Structure 1
Amino acid sequence: MRNIRMVVTVLVISFIPLFSYAETKWDNLLRESAKVFDDMANMPDTGIPSSLLEDCYAVAIFPSTINGGFIIGGQYGQGVIVARDKKTDNWSAPAVFNIFGGSFGWQIGGQAADIILLIMSERGLDGIMQSKLKLGGDIAVSAGPIGRDTQASIDLQLKGGILSYSRSRGLFAGIKIEGAAIAFNDSANKSLYGKSSSARDILIKQTVKPTKSADRLLKELKNY
């Protein structure tokens, strides 16, 4: 009997950490977003130019966005946006957003693609926070340059729009997205942070403290 009690005690102690912190699907989304950013930004000679990341207002990362259709198709995905305070250079906590509708590139059948958007202007970030932004309609969206094409990077920065990148089945390139909309996911953010916060609270005012699951993503952004 004594041995049984000891075994039960050990099992209870072992499982206490599991009950003290249960990760949600949104924590997993943050970790997956960090991996996608790390993979796509740091590709040798074909990654995202560091000069663009240094000057952008925010970065949007949508892992495993579902695409479908023949030439004209649609997409849906969930991801995060992280904004930078231009005065302090500090990155905000990630805010969860949805991307849906529209079409991009030549596509046949259905596939999942990772998408990164560099938001190069304050106007673009404001539009996204208000959930009123339509890519290619309300603001210009262009296929982002890759590698060390400095001149292309400078030209695109001057446009002040959004630069888009995509990776699917191992292929990585700048890609043009048309007609897609991006919207703040209120319920997801409430679940992630335990309280109701607006996109402006998270991204601009930075009154929301990042979760532990955001550590890798914020570290990758700072290092890059």
Structure 2
Amino acid sequence: MRQFQSAPPPAAEVTRRTSLTLATAAATMAFVHAGDSAAATAEQLSSNSRLALDRLLALRPEAQQWARTARAILVFPEIVKAGFMVGGQGGDGALIERGKVVGFYRIAAGSFGLQAGAQKFSYALFFMTQKALDYLKSSDGWSIGSGPSVVVIDEGAAKSMNTTTMRKDVYAVPFGQKGLMAGLGLEGSKITPIHPKAA
């Protein structure tokens, strides 16, 4: 279980942070450009997100309790991660609140390091507090690590968690990964609202 919270960057990391920001921007542009011709409609994205959430709830029964308690769930049915040395990941998803889709969002991130390969996976973010949900809705772009606290729950940690011990703003669950690339964290990710076409 990993937790991301805001902290002022040390001076020694300024260059690295700047480079990572540029990589994230490049990754965002690449995914946006690549998806323009085959972008999902609002109806398709809603359906895909609901199906992905259903798969998660079937795969991890403990998540059913989280879903009942959460204020809303942001589901990214397919995130594509790829790269060699410099990589990126991105995907589109839907915000489900009280059983209804109320908005659409894109997640994107860039990364540096020894990495090779590609994979696809899904992500569900359970918003446990109203302030975290309000922050998402009012923000033009949410960089993970600022704003609401986020905890990534791996499969091992999920079994020991319940709504009485879940005290953070947002709990993020990766699932359905396919491929050889390791690391499904949210470091360096940015979530922004999008407006897919109706049909």
TM-score tier after normalising by the smaller chain length: 0.5 to 0.7
| Higher share in strand | 2
Count of residues in Structure 1 that have an aligned counterpart in Structure 2: 155
Q: Identify if the C-alpha distance between structure 1 residues 37 and 144 changes in structure 2 by more than 3 Å, giving closer, same or farther.
A: same
1:192 aligns with 2:198: yes
Q: Partner of 1:93: helix, strand, or coil?
A: strand
Unaligned runs of 5+ in 1: 1-23, 85-90, 194-224
8 Å Cα contact 1:164/1:176 also seen in 2: no
8 Å Cα contact 1:57/1:120 also seen in 2: yes
Tell me what 1:62 maps to: 76
| Higher share in helix | 1
1:110 aligns with 2:118: yes
Q: Partner of 1:153: helix, strand, or coil?
A: coil
Q: Distance in 2 between matches of 1:47 and 1:72?
A: 36
Tell me what 2:54 maps to: 38
> What is the deviation of 1:48?
4.6
8 Å Cα contact 2:141/2:193 also seen in 1: no
- Deviation per CA, 1:172-213, whole angstroms, max 9, x where unpaired? xxx531221111113x1xx329xxxxxxxxxxxxxxxxxxxx
CA radius of gyration, larger in: 1
Across the aligned residues of Structure 1 and Structure 2, the Cα RMSD in angstroms comes to: 3.2
- Deviation per CA, 1:97-121, whole angstroms, max 9, x where unpaired? 1111256xx9641222111111122
Q: Distance in 2 between matches of 1:64 and 1:152?
A: 25
Q: Partner of 1:42: helix, strand, or coil?
A: helix
Q: Distance in 1 between matches of 2:74 and 2:115?
A: 22
| 98, 101, 109: which one aligns with 1:93 | 101
Q: Distance in 2 between matches of 1:117 and 1:58?
A: 8
Normalising to structure 2: TM-score of the pair?
A: 0.63
8 Å Cα contact 2:143/2:188 also seen in 1: yes
Tell me what 2:129 maps to: 121
Matches within 5 A, 1:1-224: 25-43=41-59, 46-69=60-83, 73-84=87-98, 91-102=99-110, 108-129=116-137, 130-144=139-153, 146=155, 151-154=160-163, 157-169=166-178, 176-186=185-195, 188=196, 191-192=197-198
Unaligned runs of 5+ in 2: 1-39
Q: Identify if the C-alpha distance between structure 1 residues 71 and 59 changes in structure 2 by more than 3 Å, giving closer, same or farther.
A: farther
Normalising to structure 1: TM-score of the pair?
A: 0.57
- Deviation per CA, 1:56-87, whole angstroms, max 9, x where unpaired? 11111112211123587421111101123xxx
